[in-house]
Protein backbone atom coordinates (compact mmCIF):
# COMPACT_ATOMS: atom_id res chain seq x y z
CA UNK A 1 0.00 0.00 0.00
CA UNK A 2 1.33 3.41 -0.99
CA UNK A 3 0.36 6.54 0.92
CA UNK A 4 0.96 9.95 -0.62
CA UNK A 5 0.69 13.07 1.52
CA UNK A 6 0.41 16.55 0.09
CA UNK A 7 1.42 19.47 2.28
CA UNK A 8 -1.11 22.23 1.56
CA UNK A 9 0.45 24.77 3.91
CA UNK A 10 2.83 27.07 2.03
CA UNK A 11 6.43 27.15 3.25
CA UNK A 12 6.32 30.94 3.55
CA UNK A 13 2.95 32.06 4.90
CA UNK A 14 3.73 35.76 4.39
CA UNK A 15 4.22 35.17 0.66
CA UNK A 16 0.86 33.41 0.48
CA UNK A 17 -0.87 36.34 2.19
CA UNK A 18 0.75 38.84 -0.17
CA UNK A 19 -0.43 36.83 -3.20
CA UNK A 20 -4.10 36.79 -2.13
CA UNK A 21 -6.31 39.32 -3.90
CA UNK A 22 -7.94 42.12 -1.90
CA UNK A 23 -11.21 41.15 -0.24
CA UNK A 24 -14.34 42.71 -1.63
CA UNK A 25 -17.63 43.87 -0.16
CA UNK A 26 -20.72 41.98 -1.37
CA UNK A 27 -23.07 44.37 -3.18
CA UNK A 28 -26.19 44.27 -5.33
CA UNK A 29 -25.54 46.80 -8.11
CA UNK A 30 -28.25 48.63 -10.05
CA UNK A 31 -27.09 49.41 -13.59
CA UNK A 32 -28.60 52.02 -15.94
CA UNK A 33 -27.59 50.82 -19.41
CA UNK A 34 -28.54 54.10 -21.12
CA UNK A 35 -26.37 56.37 -18.94
CA UNK A 36 -23.81 53.80 -17.81
CA UNK A 37 -24.38 54.54 -14.13
CA UNK A 38 -23.90 51.88 -11.46
CA UNK A 39 -25.32 52.35 -7.97
CA UNK A 40 -25.08 50.17 -4.86
CA UNK A 41 -25.06 50.30 -1.08
CA UNK A 42 -22.17 49.29 1.18
CA UNK A 43 -21.87 49.50 4.96
CA UNK A 44 -20.32 52.96 4.45
CA UNK A 45 -23.32 54.25 2.45
CA UNK A 46 -24.68 54.76 -1.07
CA UNK A 47 -22.25 54.85 -4.01
CA UNK A 48 -22.70 56.07 -7.61
CA UNK A 49 -20.22 55.23 -10.35
CA UNK A 50 -19.97 55.19 -14.14
CA UNK A 51 -19.11 52.18 -16.31
CA UNK A 52 -17.76 52.35 -19.86
CA UNK A 53 -19.34 48.96 -20.64
CA UNK A 54 -22.71 48.77 -18.86
CA UNK A 55 -24.15 46.23 -21.31
CA UNK A 56 -21.33 43.76 -20.58
CA UNK A 57 -21.78 44.36 -16.84
CA UNK A 58 -25.51 43.58 -17.07
CA UNK A 59 -24.76 40.39 -19.06
CA UNK A 60 -22.24 39.28 -16.43
CA UNK A 61 -24.66 40.05 -13.58
CA UNK A 62 -27.36 37.98 -15.28
CA UNK A 63 -24.97 34.98 -15.34
CA UNK A 64 -23.48 35.53 -11.87
CA UNK A 65 -23.08 32.52 -9.58
CA UNK A 66 -22.08 34.60 -6.53
CA UNK A 67 -22.86 38.09 -5.23
CA UNK A 68 -20.88 40.85 -6.92
CA UNK A 69 -17.88 42.09 -4.94
CA UNK A 70 -16.89 45.77 -4.71
CA UNK A 71 -13.15 46.30 -4.18
CA UNK A 72 -12.75 49.99 -3.26
CA UNK A 73 -8.92 49.91 -3.26
CA UNK A 74 -8.88 49.40 -7.02
CA UNK A 75 -12.37 50.80 -7.84
CA UNK A 76 -13.43 47.51 -9.40
CA UNK A 77 -16.69 45.57 -9.34
CA UNK A 78 -15.96 41.83 -9.61
CA UNK A 79 -18.63 39.47 -10.93
CA UNK A 80 -18.11 35.70 -10.78
CA UNK A 81 -19.68 33.72 -13.64
CA UNK A 82 -19.73 29.97 -14.22
CA UNK A 83 -17.01 28.42 -16.34
CA UNK A 84 -16.70 24.81 -17.42
CA UNK A 85 -13.87 23.04 -15.64
CA UNK A 86 -13.34 25.77 -13.04
CA UNK A 87 -15.12 25.04 -9.78
CA UNK A 88 -14.76 28.57 -8.40
CA UNK A 89 -15.95 30.19 -11.63
CA UNK A 90 -14.36 32.97 -13.64
CA UNK A 91 -14.02 36.41 -12.07
CA UNK A 92 -14.71 39.37 -14.33
CA UNK A 93 -13.58 42.81 -13.20
CA UNK A 94 -15.27 46.05 -14.25
CA UNK A 95 -13.45 49.31 -13.52
CA UNK A 96 -15.83 52.00 -12.34
CA UNK A 97 -15.20 55.75 -12.42
CA UNK A 98 -16.52 58.31 -9.94
CA UNK A 99 -19.82 59.77 -11.09
Of residues 48, 44, 34, 45, the one with CA closest to residue 77: 48
Ordered mean pLDDT values, 10 residues apiece, the chain (99 residues): 48 57 86 96 94 96 95 95 91 93
The pLDDT assigned to 99 comes to 75
Beta carbons within 8 Å of 89's beta carbon, 6+ residues apart: 65, 66, 80, 81, 82, 83
What pLDDT does residue 24 have?
A: 87
Per-residue model confidence (pLDDT) at position 50: 97
**pLDDT at position 11:** 58
Amino acid sequence: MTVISVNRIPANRNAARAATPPQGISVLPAVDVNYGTVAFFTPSGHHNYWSAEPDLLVDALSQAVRPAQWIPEIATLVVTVAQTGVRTGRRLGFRLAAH
